[in-house]
Structure 1
């Protein structure tokens, strides 16, 4: 057994609540899977088909799938128990039918789908009544469950569960929010902390001891070139490349597919729905390849024989750095990790060493670096979809950078937007608040008219053309309306000018009193106000006719 297993299993079997913190890749899954099965076997009253005896909650569907596979290998020997996997990306109606048909003594689930199942009483599934016999609750990667905003869902789920149960919280890092959960959900918990010794006996580190952790510093416009050069040199190995956003994953994975030949490049992120499970399963089977991903793959995921974990963008949360690195060097194996940093971010090294107990060493310069950005631009010119992916990726990168937790190191004010845009291989800068009113002499936009870039997908291009034509028609219609208003204005203008000319002729022929001249001047002022849209047409008409009436009444009064 690993240290965390030898510490947790006996305590769990003695009906203790456990809050375990252990370095990533230390075997935490078996530390709760084995006690779960043992406790269910020792029950005095055997579980019925529909009774849920154990519940395992995880933050991501990939981790849930992995735990389900581990459980499956054990349950082959214990056919009296059944399990069900409740995760997003599947049809909830099918999950309900499966639960009714097969039952489930052990449920492995993500919080969102599990909460949804509790609320589906109208569809013939009263899950709340089936969990009354629950013996064990396990929250795997418990701190991540809270980080991802599942606190409300967890509170809802806990309200359905019996209080007389065993609870286990497992995580690689402890947070203040997790401490609150421990105090609220566990009764007299036993705290277990398993850490690996660093080089010095006095320094404990949170990353595996056989992990070689490197960093490299490069300018924004050179960053992607160095990544491509590095991956080409390690194309026969298994590599994970982490980016900060889903849009960056979509964009850079397409670029890497073209630029790195004869390598299986796959991508995975949180906004994918049905494809995630298949991609994850396929990549685990590969001997070599590249998986481009977000932090959805940072926690608890066990991918065999990962040689390099590359952090192209440092994570927004410092604790996630440790979890990313932990996808390699698992269970005593050797592994490597590399993080790319900009010159202004170099102080992040000291921060990780002190705050996260994660020392890094500088990597020797990457050799054979070639400028691949012209090829990236050519891809954008050849397909509008690629051009739009690049724009979205840049916007999402800037937004993620502005929300970084280590804002004293990752300062948005210090980010060189022009050089970063060049590093993305953009044809032009997107319109966004962060760039408003700024000039970027380092960035030279392409001479090509962006509107002429076509989609490779003919149907998509046809729809775009149709939409552009509709927009042009709307503009034409609006312009016609504007011309009609101009014509009306000219007609009014002619009427008033005729009136003034007639008055002048009258003035020349006979003496016109001062009051009449004032009226004419007033009409001229009203016309100017109408042209400037300071008064409406109705007000103009009323004041013109009203002035004439008052003049007439005044004259008749004097005559009387």
Structure 2
């Protein structure tokens, strides 16, 4: 087993914020180009991409044996398509001066066979990829591409946003990919935050690693602010049914600027994105989330080029994404983890620029400010809710009444929000039992309360559902409405045909319950045998009957005489049964 020595941690101090890029790169590039594996940590927006792109090109240029068309010399793995596209663009600015190197982008959202054909035609000395698509291509040997044999000449592996790559959903793909790669390589782990899982990967997968960490001048390492110093962080405390009005008012006051608006779920992005499009005029509003397939790349590329506008998004846009001149990051819903809060804020005030961030909080969530101050070293300023803002929730309700698509999006958004809230990492502050569901439903402009387990058995006197039968609300899209009516007719016909007939649906469930009981009975019997219990089933049943009688006596439901009589009767019945069995035997 080879020994792994760790170079001491390097702390770089800087004074002007715009110099952070130069300090980080000057610390990282020479070490990565030498025979060192690197685990680099720096505040978001400090120029991590160039810190690995330049060494990759330099290492490949120094190769004694030049790379052939189908040989892979470097792989850059990143968690999201958007970040992969961004890295591919930065890389292309350099590779156009080195035509001997081919590069290829391997991400989801398009046909994998197109990627296979492109690789076979053009090659891919440098691969920029997301984990899922890269793993898929490693396993596609039937299409005439054996990627595993192409990476035998690999010199460099880079894991960008490495801590996110180790999250659930990426770890399995990452492990599968690493199994295909040669052990003798240089590896770089780049991230804005260090986690315990990342530390484990450093110890397990890096040879002669050096850790690089950029810190603020005059700030102790244990007390380092994790957001850019030129970022102003604000919070606003308002009720659930006031939040949307405050958001729209704010966006209308800042029409000429560029904003990212974060929501907790894809369904919330779909719903509120459409709502903002209808309520804020003369502003380009776009929506993006992880469940989008083919549209994501186009939306991301288009928004980056805009001088102003609003991008409604989930945390798919929270990590490593560099969108020029973002003025405000608005967090309508606090993220599920504290580290995600830092990454969201980091989409503005990048590389020495100024920027601002605002998070909306419910009154019961105010202690989250102290938590961020202690846990993430994020200084926060309060922004008071604006007075005399227009109430736009009736307009949202009118939109839902006029189009079933809006009504359904609102219901799905509410359900997804509650479910996400229940899974919040900081569950001592974000407690689902403290949620005011009536106020929340009003904030979503719901026409009625949805049926979901979290609301079962609760009544909501402060929420008034509409008197309109929601089944009568139709889709504006005529084709969708036609399909809905067809389904309704089919259901009606099915009900009429089955009217008066006996239903045997429960038989299957009953058989499953019976099988479950039988299995439980066998397990209980086995456990008793293993524990050496000498109590037989009949004795156990007798004991239970005696206990029931005793409880009835204590509650005064039977007298002492009745208790003794029934107790004696039960025992006599058992004795007679045993005698009968003996005589038959």
Q: TM-score, normalised by structure 2?
A: 0.81
Instruction: Specify the alignment match of 1:552 in structure 2.
Output: none
SS in 1 for 2:370: helix
Corresponding residue for 2:45? 25
Which among 106, 117, 140 is matched to residue 86 of structure 1?
106
Kept after mapping to 1: 8 A contact 2:237/2:385: no
Instruction: Give 2:576's aligned residue.
Output: none
Moved more, 264-273 or 197-206: 197-206
CA RMSD of aligned residues (A): 1.4
- Write the deviation string for residues 126-150 of structure 1: whole angstroms up to 9, x where unpaired: 0000000000000000001112421
Equivalent residue for 2:358, pick from 305, 321, 338:
338
Range that drifts further, 471-480 or 387-396? 471-480
Moved more, 370-379 or 139-148: 139-148
Q: Gaps spanning 5+ residues in structure 2: where?
A: 1-20, 504-585
The structure with the largest alpha-carbon Rg is 1
* Secondary structure class of the residue paired with 2:396: helix
CA distance in 2, matches of 1:200, 1:440: 50
1:200 deviates by 8.9
Say whether the 8 Å CA contact 2:75–2:156 is kept in structure 1.
yes
2-side partners of 1:360 and 1:234: how far apart? 21
Q: Within 1, Cα distance between the matches of 2:324 and 2:218?
A: 24
Q: What do residues 420-461 of structure 1 show as CA deviations (whole Å, max 9, x unaligned)?
A: 000000000100000001001111000101011000011111
**1:60 lines up with 2:80 in the alignment:** yes
User: Which among 141, 161, 168 is matched to residue 121 of structure 1?
Assistant: 141
CA contact (8 A) 1:198 1:204 kept: no
| Alpha-carbon distance between aligned partners in 2 of 1:199 and 1:171, rounded to the nearest angstrom | 20
CA contact (8 A) 1:211 1:329 kept: yes
SS where residue 242 of structure 2 aligns? helix
Within the candidate set 166, 176, 183, 2:196 is matched to 176
Who is 1:324 aligned against? 344
Q: Distance in 1 between matches of 2:144 and 2:226?
A: 46
| Matching residue of 2:151 | 131
Change in Cα spacing, 1:482 to 1:152, as seen in structure 2 (3 Å) is: closer
Secondary structure of the corresponding residue to residue 239 of structure 1: strand
The within-5 A match list for 1:364-383 is 364-383=384-403
Q: 1:325 to 1:426 in 2, by over 3 A?
A: same
Q: Does 1:290 align with 2:340?
A: no
2:440 counterpart of 1:440: no
Secondary structure at the residue paired with 2:499? helix
Q: How does 1:117-516 map to 2 (within 5 A)?
A: 117-197=137-217, 203-481=223-501
| Alignment check: 8 A CA contact 1:63 1:300 kept | yes
TM-score, normalising length from structure 1? 0.85
- 8 A Cα contact 2:161 2:191, kept in partner: yes
Secondary structure (helix, strand or coil) at the match of 2:101 reads: coil
Offset of residue 201 of structure 1: 9.7
Distance 1:198 1:402 in 2: 40
Are 2:35 and 1:15 equivalent residues in the alignment?
A: yes
Query: Following the alignment from structure 1 to structure 2, what is the Cα–Cα distance between the partners of residues 273 and 123?
Result: 23
Q: Which stretch shifts more, 192-201 or 258-267?
A: 192-201
Matches within 5 A, 1:544-555: none
Distance 1:161 1:202 in 2: 36
CA distance in 1, matches of 2:167, 2:239: 31
Kindly state the Cα deviation for residue 481 of structure 1 after the two structures are TM-superposed: 3.0
CA contact (8 A) 1:229 1:368 kept: no
- The alpha-carbon deviation at position 202 of structure 1 amounts to 8.0
| Counterpart secondary structure, 1:282 | helix
User: In 2, Cα distance between the equivalents of 1:35 and 1:305?
Assistant: 28
**Deviation digits for residues 445-497 of structure 1 (CA, Å, limit 9, x no counterpart):** 001010110000111111111111111111112224369xxxxxxxxxxxxxx
Q: Report the CA distance shift for 1:291/1:153 in structure 2 as closer, same or farther (over 3 A).
A: same
Count the aligned residue pairs: 483
TM-aligned CA deviation for residue 14 of structure 1: 1.0
Change beyond 3 A, Cα 1:121–1:437? same
**In 2: Cα distance, 1:199 partner to 1:335 partner:** 21
The answer to whether the 8 Å contact 1:117/1:127 transfers is yes
CA deviation after TM superposition for structure 1 residue 120, in Å: 0.4
C-alpha distance in structure 1 between counterparts of 2:67 and 2:222, whole Å: 49
- Partners in 1 of 2:496 and 2:108 — Cα distance? 47
Where structure 1 has 5 or more consecutive residues not aligned to the other structure, the ranges are 484-560
Distance of 1:475 and 1:91 partners within structure 2: 43
